[in-house]
Amino acid sequence: MQPQGRAVVTDQQRRELAERGFFFTDALFAAAELEPTRRECLRLYRDSIEKIPESNPSHRTKQRLRPFLPAPQDASEIIAQFQRHPVFQQLARDLIGPDVDQTWSQGCLKLPDVDAWTRFPFHQDGRFAMIDRQDSGFSCFLALGPLSPENGTLHFAAGAHRALLPHTWDERQEWWSCDVDGFEVVPGTLEPGQMVVYRLMTPHGSPPNESGEIREAFLMTFNVPGVRLVETGELFGDQRPLLRGGRAV
Give me the sign of the Cα torsion angle 143, 95, 242, 27: positive
Residues 209-215, mean pLDDT to the nearest whole number: 96
pLDDT digits (tens, 9 = 90+) for 148-189: 999 999 999 999 999 999 999 988 777 889 999 999 999 999
pLDDT band at residue 2 under the 50/70/90 scheme: very low
Strand 240-244, strand 175-178: pairing: unpaired
Q: In what order do the strands lie in the sheet with 185-187?
A: 120-123, 204-206, 155-157, 185-187
Report the C-alpha gap between 201 and 245 in whole angstroms.
27
Query: What confidence tens digit (pLDDT) does each residue in 48-84 have?
Result: 988 877 766 666 677 788 888 999 999 999 999 999 9
pLDDT of residue 62: 74
CATH number for the segment(s) 20-248: 2.60.120.620
Residues written for the chain: 249
Return all residues near 124 (Cβ < 8 A) that are at least 6 apart: 161, 164, 165, 167, 178, 200, 201, 202, 203
Domain boundaries, the chain: 20-248
Q: Which of 158, 210, 160 has the alpha carbon at shortest distance from 186?
A: 158
